[in-house]
Amino acid sequence: MAIVVGGVGVLNTMLMSVYERTREIGVLRALGWRRRGVLGLVLKEAMLLGILGGVAGIGVALALTKGLMQVPYVAGALQPIFDTTVFVRAFVVALILGVIGGLYPAYRATHLQPVEALRYE
């Protein structure tokens, strides 16, 4: 469930970013940027969002685990194991969610006609 919510969150953020920057994308296309360049721009932004989300998620998880271990009843019942593979998997999932969430907005951005995008309000 968390993966679906994260993917929809990235999708919504990137879609709003494309909508807000429609004129900017139109200017870039009118100046000669190819569709591949616009696609790369949006997907790189989505990947950066996924990377930042992964780093923040790992940091929050570590902080919450440390906080939970301060509670006497919980500290005896749980024994957290911090393995490198867990962090790598979490980071890879966040990166993949970023890319998947950015695919539709990137596709939408590449199919904007420069003239229509410049007229967009």
7-35 per-position pLDDT tens digit: 888 889 888 988 888 888 888 988 999 99
User: Within 13 A of 109's CA, how many CA atoms are on the CB side?
Assistant: 33
What are the pLDDT digits (tens) for 78-121? 788 888 998 999 889 999 988 998 899 999 888 888 888 777 76
What are the pLDDT digits (tens) for 44-71? 999 999 999 899 999 999 999 899 888 8
Assessment of whether the complete model's pTM goes beyond 0.85: no
Q: Give the domain extent around 58.
A: 2-119
pLDDT for res 92: 92
Helices (DSSP H) in the chain: which residue ranges? Answer: 2-20, 22-30, 35-68, 72-77, 84-110, 114-119
DSSP code string of 79-96: -----HHHHHHHHHHHHH
Residue 42 in 3-state DSSP?
A: helix
Split into its structural domains, the chain has a count of 1
Find out whether 97 and 7 touch, Cβ atoms under 8 Å: yes
Query: Is the pLDDT confidence value at 76 over 80?
Result: no
pLDDT for res 121: 64
